[in-house]
Structure formats: C-alpha cells, structure tokens
Amino acid sequence: MELILWRHAQAEDGVRDLDRELTPKGRKQAAKVAKWLRARLPEKFRVLVSPAARARQTADALGVDTTVIDRLAPGASAKDVLDCAGWPDDAHGVTIIVGHQPTLGKVAARLLAETPGELSIKKGGLWWFEHRLRGGRGEVVVRAVISPDLV
C-alpha cells in the first residue's frame, strides 16, 4: 500500500474554519502539486478528503473523483487518518489523504519513527509513503516529499 499525505494549500482567514477557501496563491500551490502528482500516480488510486472547503478545493486540483470523510476534519487524530486509509494493508494500492496540520505531521512522524510526535508539512505540500514487506517484516519507505515552491 502507498499513502500520500497532502496538506491543503494556503487558505483565507477570518471565516468559520470548515468554510475557509483557498486564496489565489493556494489555488496555484494546489495546481502545481496536482500536476506533479498526476504525472506520477498509477492508473488506479483513491482520494480521501477532509470536509473542509480548503481541503476539498486542494483535492479538486487533481481533477478526479474524491471521497469526503468527516473523520478527516480538522482535529482528526493520526489513528483516524491511518484507519480511514486502511494503513498498512488496504488493497486499494495508492491512497491520497488531503487534510490538515498538525494531524498529517503526526501521521508522518508516526510512520517515520513509529513513535508519537509531530512534523510540520508546508501548506500545499505532500509526503508519499509506501508500506512493503521485506524479509517477512513490514517497513515504511518514503517515496517523495514535495513542497509547492519546489515544483
């Protein structure tokens, strides 16, 4: 299974949290990362998205069907994200989670260190993980870390 953690792009301030939309800069960030990602994704994958407007708009940049999951809303736990994704044994192959900080950073830290902690994921950035079996043991491989200003 492969898991891509994609933080929503830059969003406006000053409105109800779930209603915050992407700024013009955020739309550009989402478009750049989506273009990079589309060129590397396999034919089959799924996209699971927070119900927040900014996350849905970030995911929309991919131009594919998405599934909104309330459990991925701001404040979700790392366990919520991993459960929704079916990590590490889900048969969907590649799952993209579009969500929020600090949750996604906590997921990344958990996958990297297998201990509680937190990393910071830049707005619009993504982390791509793969779970595979090696010698009968599961291992996590980091396939890519991308920031919108680098694509």
Residue 3 near residue 87, CB atoms below 8 Å: yes
Read off the pLDDT band of 44 (50, 70, 90).
very high
Question: In the chain, what are the domain boundaries?
Answer: 2-150
% helix, strand, coil for the chain, step of 5: 35, 25, 40
CATH of 2-150, one of 3.40.50.720, 2.40.30.160, 3.40.50.1240, 2.60.40.10: 3.40.50.1240
- Relative to beta strand 94-99, strand 126-134 is unpaired
Model confidence pLDDT, tens digit, residues 94-126: 999 999 999 998 899 888 876 666 778 889 999
Instruction: Looking at mean pLDDT, say which of 29-33, 130-134, 145-149 comes out highest.
Output: 29-33
pTM of the model: 0.86
- The answer to whether residues 132 and 138 touch, using CB atoms and an 8 Å cutoff, is yes
Using left for φ > 0, alpha for ψ between -120 and 50, and beta otherwise, residue 120 falls in: beta
Question: Could you read off the pLDDT of 79-88 as tens digits, one per residue?
Answer: 999 999 999 8
